[in-house]
Amino acid sequence: MQRQKVPFVPTTPGHVGMYLCGPTVYSDAHLGHAKKEVAFDVIRRALMHFGYRVRYVANITDVGHLQNDSDDGEDKLQARARLEQLEPMEVADKYFWSFFKDMDALNVLRPSINPRATGHIQEQIKLIEELIERGHAYESAGSVYFDVRSWPEYGKLSGRKLDDQEEGTREAVREEKRDPRDFALWKKAEPEHLMRWDSPWSVGFPGWHIECSAMSLKYLGEGFDIHGGGLDLQFPHHEAEIAQAEAAGHHFARYWMHNNMLTIGGEKMSKSKGNFTTIEDILHKHEPMVVRFLLVSSHYRSVTEMNEEAFASAANGYRRMVDALAEIERRLNDAPAGADAALDAKIAARVQEFEDAMRDDFNTPKAVAALFGLTAEVNTALNAGPVGHDTLERAQAAYRTLGGDVLGLFAEGSGAAPAQDDTPVVDALMELVLKARQNYRLQKQYAEADELRDTLSEVGITVEDTKDGVRWKR
RNA sequence: GGCGCUGUAGCCAAGUGGUAAGGCAGAGCUCUGCAAAAGCUCCACCACCGGUUCGAGUCCGGUCAGCGCCUCCA
């Protein structure tokens, strides 16, 4: 809340409670969601790596909030439902599942608790009642609004002063409100509004911000550790969350973390601009791990530019690391016993470098650089000759633990859409083809040998001749 | 108008006042039947102008450019 980087000290030693603002499930998740989810997934994984037990709560917003603040705004879920000719809750469930399918593909760990707004109407009503009792909220025409004038701290997170805010920007300043900046805690439902619940004030639906205050406090308790979300939610959403919770007498989140936005051609990717790429679409063009690698290659607080060149660069760079790891694991099969002290020291230094980077506000680009440093050193050693088994295991552990467990990489084949496993067949065929090619080569019939190699290349199989014999990969 | 962020090589991207990490692309070399892979080498007057300092990409002021939030958005 000091609006700067500060040392982290959890409430309960050894434990961390994290809350992340999740998606409103009314359309496919796009790359912006991926950046947020991966950013906080890495933070969670890093905390776990450093020994914390993490309770990770990420909500799903499935209440249909209005598309804008004017009177006739349509509910987003309902609008989608009309388009797809579904019940609003069918829409919510459809995109709920597709969201998890996308996140699984990106190797984002599932939350410890995944509360849905519609399942916590009672908790939200209770919090609103507390606010009314304390004089920070008032009912007006069946709706309930938060009284920002009654809460001087409103604005502390985003560094805004009420009086600086431009008035009248909104099309219709609702006369129901005492102040145009008051925000809805409960809205009376118009007759055509489908998602509606009983409340002391009207049949209606909760305001957009109240669910996060209610659910985070319910599952993480008073004064929980970390609250995360996109930078674009800082104001008004998170500001409102804090005001509601604290005005009602609760201790709210102690640390706030915001991921920055993703740009394409320098412009923010967003639903309203229509310049977004869905995760499903991008996964048709790029491996999930490449997408994830590109995301962790920039810092969560920085803007990430995503263009085709960046993807190509990420694909090649990631491949280099994967190849090094694959070679380590191949060599483990017939490595001599013992260790290589010089390389051991280098591995330990890179591990240290990685962990230092992560400890400094989760500096993933720096951590990735440490892995590339490791890659160069390991490759050099592997080129030089046999490396001891123990050392290879240490190198493997460095990749699997840091790149794998912490950054969530090297999880090819995980998640949705597992490819049909044709490995045994391909292996057998490759053995035959390579044997034939080797015969051509021994008889110096290079044209024939190269033709085989070129044909394989066309179907995505690379053949490499090395000192130790032929090797292939796809 | 208010609040805030950013400008680092062709691209992506770190950078705690003390000679500018890393990756991709590119060039050369080693290895190789040729390739590929890997390794080595090369590749930045840090938007501009002032100031503070022994020393500034890093601090201060200004200029220019771009972006975000203030309305739904991750």
Residue that is last in its domain, among A406, A436, A452: A406
- Do A188 and A215 lie in one domain? The reply is yes
Residue A289 domain flag? no
Closest residue to B15 (CA, C1′): A366
Burial class (CB in 10 A: 0-12, 13-18, 19+), A369: middle
Q: Is residue A232 part of a domain?
A: yes
Alpha-carbon distance values, A76 to A65, A80, A197, A203, A433 (Å): 6, 6, 17, 19, 57
Provide the residue range defining the domain that includes A40. Answer: 15-268
Domain co-membership, A186 together with A125: yes
pLDDT at A76: 84
Are A441 and A395 found together in one domain? Answer: no
CB A262 within 8 A of CB A36: no
Smallest CA–C1' separation from A271, nucleotide: B73
Q: Are residues A97 and A201 in the same domain?
A: yes
Say whether both A359 and A210 belong to one domain: no
Same domain for A184 and A52: yes
Q: Please name the nucleotide lying closest to A323, CA to C1'.
A: B37
How many Å from the CA of A376 to C1' of B41?
A: 15
Under 8 Å between Cβ of A227 and A253: yes
Determine the nucleotide nearest to A230 by Cα–C1' distance.
B74
* Cα–Cα nearest to A160, from A81, A77, A238: A238
Is A143 in the same domain as A241? yes
Specify the residue for token string 């470098």: A353
Query: A145, A176 in Cβ contact below 8 A?
Result: yes
* B3 nearest neighbour residue (CA to C1'): A160
The domain boundary residue, chosen from A268, A283, A300: A268
| Nearest nucleotide by C1' position to the A309 CA atom | B11
Nucleotide nearest to A379 (CA to C1'): B38
A113 inside domain: yes
pLDDT recorded at residue A70? 44
Nearest nucleotide relative to A67: CA against C1': B72
The last residue of a domain, from among A355, A378, A406:
A406
pLDDT confidence of residue A270: 83
Span CA (A249) to C1' (B47), Å: 49
The pTM of this model reads 0.94
Residues A238 and A336 occupy one common structural domain:
no
Q: Are residues A431 and A400 in the same domain?
A: no
- CATH number of A167's domain: 3.40.50.620
Distance in Å, residue A299 CA to nucleotide B55 C1': 30
3-state secondary structure chain A: CCCCCCCCCCCCCCEEEEEECCCECCCCCEHHHHHHHHHHHHHHHHHHHCCCEEEEEECEECCCCECCCCCCCCEHHHHHHHHHCCCHHHHHHHHHHHHHHHHHHCCCCCCCECCEHHHHHHHHHHHHHHHHHCCCEEEECCEEEECHHHCCCCCCCCCCCHHHCCCCCCCCCCCCCCCCCCEEEEEECCCCCCCCECCCCCCEEECCCHHHHHHHHHHHCCCCCEEEEEHHHHHHHHHHHHHHHHHCCCCCCCEEEEECCEEECCEECCCCCCCCCEHHHHHHHCCHHHHHHHHHCCCCCCCEECCHHHHHHHHHHHHHHHHHHHHHHHHHHHCCCCCCHHHHHHHHHHHHHHHHHHHCCCCHHHHHHHHHHHHHHHHHHHHHCCCCHHHHHHHHHHHHHHHHHHCCCCCCCCCCCCCCCCHHHHHHHHHHHHHHHHHHHHCCCHHHHHHHHHHHHHCCCEEEEECCEEEEEC
Find the CATH number of the domain harbouring A337. 1.20.120
Q: How far is the CA of A4 from the C1' of B7 (A)?
A: 21
pLDDT at A216: 97
Could you tell me if residue A274 is inside a domain? no
Distance, Å, A458 CA → B21 C1': 37
Residue nearest to nucleotide B11 (CA to C1'): A309
Do both A193 and A244 map to the same domain? yes
A286 assigned to some structural domain: no
Predicted pLDDT at A89: 92
Longest dimension (CA), chain A: 92
Nucleotide with the nearest C1' to A171 CA: B71
The label of the residue with tokens 């490995």 reads: A423
Closest-approach nucleotide to residue A262, Cα vs C1': B74
A169 closest-nt by C1' vs CA:
B71
| Strand B nucleotides in reach of protein CB atoms, 7 A cut-off | 1-5, 10-15, 21-25, 31-40, 66-74
CA-to-C1' span, A367 to B55 (A):
30
Residue nearest to nucleotide B23 (CA to C1'): A317
Residues A314, A297: Cα–Cα separation, whole Å: 8
Examine residue A381 and state whether it is found in any structural domain, yes or no: yes
Measuring alpha carbon to C1', the residue closest to nucleotide B2 is A164
CA of A357 to C1' of B16 (A): 12
C-alpha to C-alpha distance for A272 and A275, rounded to whole angstroms = 8
Rounded, the Å distance between the CA of A165 and C1' of B3 is 9
Q: What is the pLDDT of residue A272?
A: 75
Question: In this structure, is residue A417 part of a structural domain?
Answer: no
> How far does the CA of A403 sit from the C1' of B70, in Å?
39
Q: Give the distance, in angstroms, between residue A319 CA and nucleotide B35 C1'.
A: 19
Q: Does A182 share its domain with A115?
A: yes
| ipTM for the complex shown | 0.94
Question: Same domain, yes or no, for A365 and A226?
Answer: no
Residue A9 in domain: no
Determine the Cα–Cα distance for residues A294 and A314; give it in Å rounded to an integer. 5
* Amino acid A304: pLDDT: 94
Sequential pLDDT tens for chain A (474 residues): 567 788 899 999 999 999 999 999 999 999 999 999 999 999 999 999 999 999 999 999 998 777 654 444 578 888 889 888 899 999 999 999 999 999 999 999 999 999 999 999 999 999 999 999 999 999 999 999 999 989 988 988 887 776 655 544 444 445 678 888 899 999 999 888 889 999 999 999 999 899 999 999 999 999 999 999 999 999 889 999 999 999 999 999 999 999 999 998 888 888 777 788 999 999 999 999 999 999 999 999 999 999 999 999 999 999 999 999 999 999 999 899 999 999 999 999 999 999 999 999 999 999 999 999 999 999 999 999 899 999 999 999 999 999 999 999 999 765 444 456 788 888 899 999 999 999 999 999 999 999 999 999 888 889 999 877 888 888
Closest CA to A469 of A437, A427, A424: A437
Instruction: Give me the CA A98–C1' B61 separation in Å, rounded.
Output: 52
Please state the domain count of chain A.
3
A75: which 2 tokens? Answer: 């509910």
